[in-house]
Amino acid sequence: MLTPETIAIVKSTAPVLAEHGELLTRHFYTRMFTHNPEVLPFFNPTNQHKGSQQRALAGAIAAYAANIDNLGVLMGAVELIAQKHASLMIKPEHYPIVGANLLASIREVLGTAATDDIINAWAQAYGFLADILTKREAEIYADNSEAAGGWEGFRKFRLIRKETESLNIVSLYLQPADGLQLKTFKPGQYVTVRVTLPNGMTTMRNYSLSDKPGMDWYRISVKREKATVQSAPDGYVSNHLHDHFHIGDEVEIAPPCGEFCLDASKADKPLVLMAGGVGITPLISILKNALELDPQREILFIHACVDEEMQAFRQKLHSIEATHPNVRVHSRYSDRDHGTDDTKSFGLLSEEFLDAQISNRGADFYFCGPKPFMQIVYGVLKNWNIPTDQVHFEFFGPVQDLEAQPLSNAA
């Protein structure tokens, strides 16, 4: 356990870390990749380039410092991190690398303000957190390897089917190359795909499983990632899977992970599922599984995207709606006016729009999508005082980022 002195010192640094968090984490990643390039395959270069990884880590450090005397409030974040680490095969031997570079970065960025007492306190605090994470990650590895059809590490899968879902999304149906049993998963979870780069190094990406559990394949639906700024490259893995991954080809996949999952204990409770763009992938799995648990379940599915051509699973959603009277699907298009009717509308997402669509505030809410979409939905549900146990979402970054956007609109 941490001593009261350590807790007091770490808490006293929270304001400084909040102020200089991104400077510290940018320095940290640059330092670690220079001193320990062997960890590069664990990180997404696009997230590094955009700064989202640095912001997420800065938020996590600040939250840990502020709540180190009440870690119960951070258990949700700890579970998210442990699941992400297990998906990437982070092991106990990686923690000393991160710890050494983090402590060195604190000293190098803060200078003389980083006294020996502060460095020693953070060393103890980091070690305490690392112990919590490695124990939970060991449980996840054990659960994945001991389950029927389970495994640990990476397993080769073969592409058996490839379907175009929209202008920029393709679905890949993957079966174990060894022909053995396939582990089931929780709807909403993701797998990690590992590919080899032209320079011989490997890189990994997480992709949500977009079909219901219990099939003899895993389906992932991959959005082609184009560079958002001129200095950044197109997404290597997504473009490789779109253009150069063909029927019969093999790829390495880690076991399913993730804590953004349908709560099966509430099978009779109304659902509101809200997706932004490719954020539909885990939600289509949740939708299918929810209807297997209770075909009569009341479900509203809202999909916000650019237009019909960019909308994945549009026909599949309406086919589900046609066979389930209690399911209602609404498409919200931001770019082109396709006219409006009961199933679609044109405009940006807003509280007024959501208020008109959502009549049952006692439902469970699940949502996933790009940051502006998430900010609007999160802000609306908070404004409606929806209890936290009814709100479920997947977001890369600190929750504080979701509270930074007005409720007016989102792309």
Nearest to 350 by CA among 366, 317, 372, 328: 372
Catalytic, 95? Answer: yes
Q: Active-site residue among 64, 126, 137, 165? A: 137
The pair phi, psi for residue 367, each rounded to 5°, is -150, 150
Residue 231 exposed, middle or buried by CB count within 10 Å (0-12, 13-18, 19+): exposed
Those residues whose C-beta lies under 8 Å from the C-beta of residue 87, and which sit 6 or more positions away, are 190, 191, 192, 206, 254, 257, 258
Other CB atoms within a 10 A radius of the CB of residue 217 amount to 16
N residues, the chain: 411
Question: How does strand 190-196 pair with strand 250-253?
Answer: antiparallel
Q: Which residues are annotated as a binding site for FAD?
A: 190, 205-208, 395-398
- Residue 398 phi/psi, 5° resolution? -70, 145
Question: In sequence order, what are the residues at sequence separation of 6 or more whose Cβ sits closer than 8 angstroms to the Cβ of residue 78?
Answer: 71, 129, 132, 133, 136
Q: Which residues line the annotated binding site for NADP(+)?
A: 277-282
Name the binding residues for heme b: 85
Round the CA-based radius of gyration of the chain to a whole number and report it: 22
Please say if 137 is a catalytic residue.
yes
Measured CA to CA in angstroms, residue 354 lies from 1, 104, 127 at distances of 46, 47, 44
Give the active site residue among 29, 79, 93, 95.
95
Q: Which residues are catalytically annotated?
A: 95, 137
